[in-house]
Structure 1
Amino acid sequence: MWLRHFLAYTRVLPPPGTPHGSISASDHKLPEPGRGGLIVCGLAGILRHDGGPVQPAVLEAMTAVLAHRGPDGQATRMLGAAGLGHRRLAIVDRSPAGEQPMCDDRGTLWIVCNGEIYNHLELRRDLERRGFAFRSRCDTEVILYLYRVYGDDCVQHLRGMFAFALWDSEARRLLLARDRFGEKPLFYMDDGEQFCFASELKSLQRHPAFPWDVDPAAIHRFLAMDYIPAPDSVYAAVRKLPAAHRLVVEAGQARLQRYWRLDYGAQPSGAPLAELQDEVLRRFDESVRLRLMGEVPVGVFLSGGIDSNTIASAVSRVSNQPVRTFTIGFDDPRHDESRYAREAARALGTEHHERVLAPNLEALLPRVVAHFDEPFGDPSAIPTWCLAEMAGRHITVALSGEGGDEAFAGYQRYRKHQIARRAWLLPRPLRRALGQVLHKVLPTALPGAHPLRGAADLLTAREATLDEVYGRWLLHCDEATAGRLYAPGLRDAVELEDPVRLLAGLLGSSGARDPVNAMLDVDQQTYLADDLLLKLDVAAMAHAVEGRSPFLDHEFAAFVAAIPGRYKLRHGTGKWLLRRALRGRLPPAVLSRGKRGFGLPLDQWLAGPLRPLLHDTLASRAARERGLFEPRAVQAMLDEGPSRKPQQAHLLWNLLVLELWFGAAKTQRTGPQHNA
């Protein structure tokens, strides 16, 4: 038995096959025309391959569980073999006319959409010139008529964030699409009889045929990377639609297609540096202006760093409305930057809201873990959750800085890679000898992110290439740790699974013009989409707050991607170009400050308020009987505590999150909603 007692209610299955089957539709009355608006929400749907009717009660249950994403209303449509469900959070013109599912004037195209199309007015004018008459002002209706003109390529014309499902009853085909960066999520599954999709896993779990079998390789990816990269999910037979992809289900086949990729190999403009700086700010201001549209209160998630300050400054420039800012502080001065945020808010003249994070962690952590639906180890999910909870009392839309570091090289690891390229010129024996000496003289408690610790790790790296070294830096559980920690069954199940090869392969195959942009390319495809944007969407939508990321406007991002890496990381300073461009907009203290974010004092919390939960959970009978990890190895980590070794706290955190998730998943499956 290769995974003893893996789950009392689970077995491990291979990846799912290709969706297949035939589809049909029936006619329904068209909704009355009226005024619509921008709508963000949750969506769900079912497609029966045998052409039979969708069960209304199942679709309604799948839709109802997404109420937190759309508290303004729920609607479902049964369209023969297809059924569409929608939860509404109205942002512009909150009248009933903007409700979904929505159809075109012929009643043959039906759509549910989560997100916002920022260029919908421009698209509407072009479509009206082509003779289309709109029934509402809703941006979702634009997609219906774009599809009439361009077919599946309609996604190429959209500027915004979105996940949508479009049912073409005449062609008997279903089109799913997700925005270019993955700001809006979309999951799907197919059991051979029904193809189901939804904004969140908890919606799919309301379907009686939900496949609860866990993928052990996904567990390994989670422990190594903090997240499970698309297209996989924690469940073996459930997939995520990757960012910048569309999926067409037609004539018994499913076709997954990538429709866009950020081009880091584009020829730079050659403009003088001063003009380049001005153009960056002009385009960024335009992105912010587009994301301020709506008839609901808008605010900014503010830290002490450059990205959020850049957004707040732009809002104050392009909007006549008062700027509201929100920040989270910590009692631990190592992680608290509320003072910097307060100073920035005062300088910008914002209406500032602040909260010191001192929650009941033993109660909050299981709640957050359960809401994410699959293991998610980024500790900043906790402050992001609390920030959204606080902001939700005041605003409906929040601008946030996701994508700024991936656009302008803000992470310390980019600098480390520059050093690595120089170190790799040394003969390997000399390099390793220097690293070993450095390891011996460094204090044990020195953080793993410290430059000296990074230099020592770099010099002693076993990897054969720089691409592999970079891939290793992104992981929290290496092969040696997994070898000690994993029980034989889990080791066997993930024997061929190596996240380092995945990341190194992406870096090596990048078409970027220089090493800095190649690293940005990898992070944009992985960490940004599957960690940062997932975190923002889940945490914000849990409190009916819509997160918008101005750095992720695809036209702005394409312009920045073509800028040479030497202007992004220069003389060891990340975001060099952005810092220069912002002189005169932001105070010098903000521009000179290093990377900031909503961090978490893991070692302090795991050794303090979370210690009872940590020990009780990881040493529990349920954890032992699951058979995933060697009990002695887990106990040794608990005995050493979170502060004895670099990265120990993070791995303990992920193990705690994983075990809490298993408990939540069991509750989801055995809860009353599945016994009805």
Structure 2
Amino acid sequence: MCGFAGSFAYADGPAALDVLESQLHALRHRGPETPGVWRGERARLGHQRLPIIDTTEGGRQPIQNEDGTVVVVVNGEFYGSGAIRDRLRHRGHTFRGASDSEVLVHLWEEVGMAALQELTGMFALAVFDTRTRVLLLARDRMGKKPLYWYDDGHRIVFASELKALLLDPAVPRNVEESAVVEALTFGYIASPRTIWKGVQKLLPGQRLLCDSSGPRTEQYWAAPTERMEPRSDDDAADELRGLIDDAVRTRLVADVPIGVFLSGGIDSSCVAAVVAAQCGPSIPTFSIGVEGETEGDIAHARLMADHLHTEHREYFIGPSSLSLLPRLVWGLDEPFFDPSILPSYHVARLAREQVTVVLSGDGGDEMFGGYDTYRKALRHASGDWVPLALRRQVASAARALPLGQGALGRLRQLDRGILERHLANMSLFRPEDIGSLLTPDMAATATSGPLGLLAETPSPQAGRNGEAFAALLDYDAKTYLPDDVLTKVDRMSMLNTLEVRTPLLDQRIVEFSARLPFSMKVRQGVTKWILRESTKQLLPDAILRRGKRGFGIPLHRWMDHGLRTLARQTLLDGRCARRGWLNPKGVAAMLDRDSWQPGRQAHQIFALTCLELWARTYVDRPREELHSPLDGVLELHPAVTAAGVA
């Protein structure tokens, strides 16, 4: 895993300040080796490397072709690149090392932008061709690796993380206030926009081409929309098992130690079981738990580790981990309110003591219908046969009643479409919350955010065969997966200089899943049905029967053990009030012990605290200080410094 930054002046304009070394220093946690830099007449590329494949000098980047006319940088890995390398060698290309990234520079010489169709893996990349003065940026199909960019009208700037991009003085720091509201509503900001006006994320499966006419983007890949022909359950399960076996096999290629994240759920258990089958027992596995809890995830992870005879290690987090929030907020770059950043950071730190690469089960829920919200969508849709006019009357009457959950909550959503109900269930702050917690000016900036995809979703009436429900998985794969799950995994692992690989998001598995009928994903109330069928020979019954749990951070219990104090110190400070985003009276009422409400309120307080910490980190400080966290200089993981690569 790595990080890179660069720029390309595609038209004449004012001379730009060269800050490439500073940008790379801000990305040092992504790759601790001495930075590699290439400078041309109009373009600059810089790279921070975490050596995974070919740890010698031959794998250093930027990489050039034989005559130095094409230059590339890559963050990530290309899987199964050996066959491409052999073909290119046969065509006469000379390789200086054994790095998988090197195939890109020679593939570009052969086929140009069509190279993206041949490359599979997790990656963000940049190619600059000095002969044609063309820049290509691209991001992998599922958005596992990040890439940000900004165009000032004559020059494009790009980087693996926003903090590095912002060190270029040409990039403005004007907060997109509607994006703040979006983050509070959904917990993240959906691509392509960011928290900064004019700055964009490259979408998953998207490429950007920039020449003298400026940058333009287009999708080079999208998941298939057609469904596969009817087939037997056994045939589908066997095909999926074969795909998983091969996806794991290609991700076990590395010149450094490899382990597995093991949560005790079916996804990570499946990955760990396949790794053990291919590598033998004693593979390192890593789990995270909560202080004082011995059941749930941690118990099932132990059960699976014992079943596979792995070298298993655990770490338990408590409220003291809240002290890390300033550092984690810095690492995330944007307002981001998923509290699972805490266990994600700690399990990555634990794994980095022993390995440099881990495999994880991320993506299984989105590919195979694992979230409980999908089952809720099925239950809520049971009343969609009622005429819409009548449903509107019932929903309107239910909304006039005091707030409540359960059946009353479902009645309030009776007139909404399938995706609207799904998003309401996924929302952190709802419209009624926004109105009381934000200042009127900030609340007025609220926009649809991810709801912009609503128009692409089938109507409930189209869902009798499950296709409307399948649209929920497609929606989550385009938004929640890349902008929450994979963002969290990338940033928390990279803060520990650890690479995470996700076999269940292999391109072939994603395309297989996209063609599956919904009835093979959720059947008779059983989520991830086809995944369970395909792995039933590998997993204990206790794992196979287990439903989706998710790693629950007990924020409600932590309120009286540090979270309330941290929130009061942060949110009742004069700086927060002067910012003009949050309504001081609404915030004070939420923090009042007497107004405490169970449920989402602890998570909401956590989110507001993270928002203010983000503003102090990225809005209040001068640009030249953004390369380090609010609480001091970022120290690399001890395993990295001990290895002598820092």
Question: What is the CA-CA distance between 1:643 and the residue it aligns to?
Answer: 5.4
Residue of 410, 422, 437 corresponding to 1:458 = 410
Q: Deviations over 1:68-127 (max 9, x none)?
A: 110133111111111100001111221011111111112111001101000210111222
Specify the alignment match of 1:330 in structure 2: 290
**Aligned positions of 1:178-257 closer than 5 A:** 178-257=139-218
Partner of 1:237: helix, strand, or coil? coil
Specify the alignment match of 2:301 in structure 1: 341
Check if 1:403 corresponds to 2:363: yes
Specify the alignment match of 2:113 in structure 1: 152
| 5+ long unaligned stretches in structure 2 | 629-646
**Aligned positions of 1:352-391 closer than 5 A:** 352-358=312-318, 360-391=320-351
- TM-score, length of structure 2 as denominator length: 0.91
Residue of 526, 544, 554 corresponding to 2:497 = 544
Partner of 1:578: helix, strand, or coil? helix
Question: What is the CA-CA distance between 1:408 and the residue it aligns to?
Answer: 0.8
Partner of 2:5: helix, strand, or coil? strand
Counterpart contact for 1:485–1:634, Cα < 8 Å: yes
Distance 1:530 1:489 in 2: 26
Question: What is the CA-CA distance between 1:51 and the residue it aligns to?
Answer: 5.8
Residue of 639, 658, 661 corresponding to 2:592 = 639
| 334 and 628 in structure 1: CA distance in 2 versus 1, 3 angstrom threshold | farther
Q: Deviations over 1:377-412 (max 9, x none)?
A: 111011101111111111100111111001110001
Specify the alignment match of 2:601 in structure 1: 648
Residue of 527, 530, 552 corresponding to 1:599 = 552
Specify the alignment match of 1:21 in structure 2: none
Partner of 2:2: helix, strand, or coil? strand
Counterpart contact for 1:50–1:193, Cα < 8 Å: yes
Counterpart contact for 2:10–2:214, Cα < 8 Å: no
| 673 and 661 in structure 1: CA distance in 2 versus 1, 3 angstrom threshold | closer
Distance 1:279 1:187 in 2: 36
**Aligned positions of 1:482-521 closer than 5 A:** 482-494=434-446, 497-499=447-449, 501-508=451-458, 514-521=467-474
In structure 2, what residue type is equivalent to 1:554? Q
Distance 2:545 2:534 in 1: 13
Distance 1:330 1:64 in 2: 34
Check if 1:136 corresponds to 2:136: no
Distance 2:627 2:306 in 1: 51
Q: Deviations over 1:402-439 (max 9, x none)?
A: 11001110001101111122122246657976998999
Partner of 1:353: helix, strand, or coil? strand
Counterpart contact for 2:17–2:168, Cα < 8 Å: no
| 170 and 422 in structure 1: CA distance in 2 versus 1, 3 angstrom threshold | same
| 405 and 334 in structure 1: CA distance in 2 versus 1, 3 angstrom threshold | farther
Check if 1:282 corresponds to 2:234: no
| 215 and 433 in structure 1: CA distance in 2 versus 1, 3 angstrom threshold | closer
Counterpart contact for 2:418–2:459, Cα < 8 Å: no
Distance 2:211 2:588 in 1: 52
Specify the alignment match of 2:535 in structure 1: 582
Residue of 534, 537, 544 corresponding to 2:487 = 534
With 642-651 and 394-403 compared, the bigger mean Cα shift is at 642-651
Distance 1:132 1:509 in 2: 53
Distance 1:562 1:86 in 2: 38
Counterpart contact for 2:366–2:473, Cα < 8 Å: yes
Specify the alignment match of 1:448 in structure 2: none
In structure 1, what residue type is equivalent to 2:408? A
Distance 1:569 1:289 in 2: 27
Distance 2:147 2:590 in 1: 36
Distance 1:438 1:480 in 2: 11
| 433 and 620 in structure 1: CA distance in 2 versus 1, 3 angstrom threshold | same
In structure 2, what residue type is equivalent to 1:106? D
Partner of 1:574: helix, strand, or coil? coil
Specify the alignment match of 1:29 in structure 2: none
Counterpart contact for 1:516–1:569, Cα < 8 Å: no
Check if 1:555 corresponds to 2:516: no
| 212 and 185 in structure 1: CA distance in 2 versus 1, 3 angstrom threshold | same
Question: What is the CA-CA distance between 1:461 and the residue it aligns to?
Answer: 1.5
Question: What is the CA-CA distance between 1:54 and the residue it aligns to?
Answer: 8.2
| 640 and 463 in structure 1: CA distance in 2 versus 1, 3 angstrom threshold | farther
Distance 2:607 2:415 in 1: 25
Q: Deviations over 1:470-507 (max 9, x none)?
A: 2322222222222222212112333xx12473243343
In percent, how many aligned pairs have the same letter? 37
Counterpart contact for 1:227–1:531, Cα < 8 Å: yes
Specify the alignment match of 1:31 in structure 2: none
Specify the alignment match of 1:624 in structure 2: 577
Distance 2:384 2:244 in 1: 37
| 77 and 333 in structure 1: CA distance in 2 versus 1, 3 angstrom threshold | same
| 219 and 368 in structure 1: CA distance in 2 versus 1, 3 angstrom threshold | same
Question: What is the CA-CA distance between 1:641 and the residue it aligns to?
Answer: 7.0
Distance 2:196 2:391 in 1: 46
Distance 2:572 2:421 in 1: 34
Partner of 1:327: helix, strand, or coil? strand
Partner of 1:628: helix, strand, or coil? coil
Counterpart contact for 2:417–2:459, Cα < 8 Å: no
Counterpart contact for 1:180–1:244, Cα < 8 Å: yes
Q: Deviations over 1:248-282 (max 9, x none)?
A: 1111321100111111x323143321121111111
Partner of 1:325: helix, strand, or coil? strand
Distance 1:362 1:139 in 2: 39
Residue of 474, 478, 501 corresponding to 2:430 = 478
Question: What is the CA-CA distance between 1:153 and the residue it aligns to?
Answer: 2.0
Residue of 469, 477, 482 corresponding to 2:421 = 469
Check if 1:572 corresponds to 2:530: no
Distance 1:135 1:316 in 2: 34
Q: Deviations over 1:548-592 (max 9, x none)?
A: 100110012111221111011011110112112222210000111
Distance 1:595 1:424 in 2: 26
With 476-485 and 429-438 compared, the bigger mean Cα shift is at 429-438
Counterpart contact for 1:514–1:565, Cα < 8 Å: yes
With 533-542 and 124-133 compared, the bigger mean Cα shift is at 124-133
In structure 2, what residue type is equivalent to 1:382? L
Check if 1:100 corresponds to 2:74: no
With 163-172 and 266-275 compared, the bigger mean Cα shift is at 266-275
| 456 and 550 in structure 1: CA distance in 2 versus 1, 3 angstrom threshold | farther
Distance 2:504 2:206 in 1: 20
Specify the alignment match of 2:45 in structure 1: 84
Distance 1:328 1:435 in 2: 44
| 63 and 240 in structure 1: CA distance in 2 versus 1, 3 angstrom threshold | same
In structure 2, what residue type is equivalent to 1:158? L
Task: Kindly report the root-mean-square deviation, in angstroms, between the aligned alpha carbons of the 2 structures.
Answer: 2.7
Counterpart contact for 1:398–1:547, Cα < 8 Å: yes
Specify the alignment match of 2:273 in structure 1: 313
Partner of 1:502: helix, strand, or coil? helix
Distance 1:347 1:147 in 2: 46
Partner of 2:538: helix, strand, or coil? coil
Specify the alignment match of 2:262 in structure 1: 302
Check if 1:68 corresponds to 2:68: no
Counterpart contact for 2:395–2:414, Cα < 8 Å: no
Question: What is the CA-CA distance between 1:463 and the residue it aligns to?
Answer: 4.3
In structure 2, what residue type is equivalent to 1:322? S
| 5+ long unaligned stretches in structure 1 | 1-39, 445-452
Specify the alignment match of 2:122 in structure 1: 161
Check if 1:261 corresponds to 2:261: no
With 113-122 and 133-142 compared, the bigger mean Cα shift is at 133-142
Partner of 2:194: helix, strand, or coil? coil
In structure 2, what residue type is equivalent to 1:480? E
| 226 and 673 in structure 1: CA distance in 2 versus 1, 3 angstrom threshold | closer
Specify the alignment match of 1:32 in structure 2: none
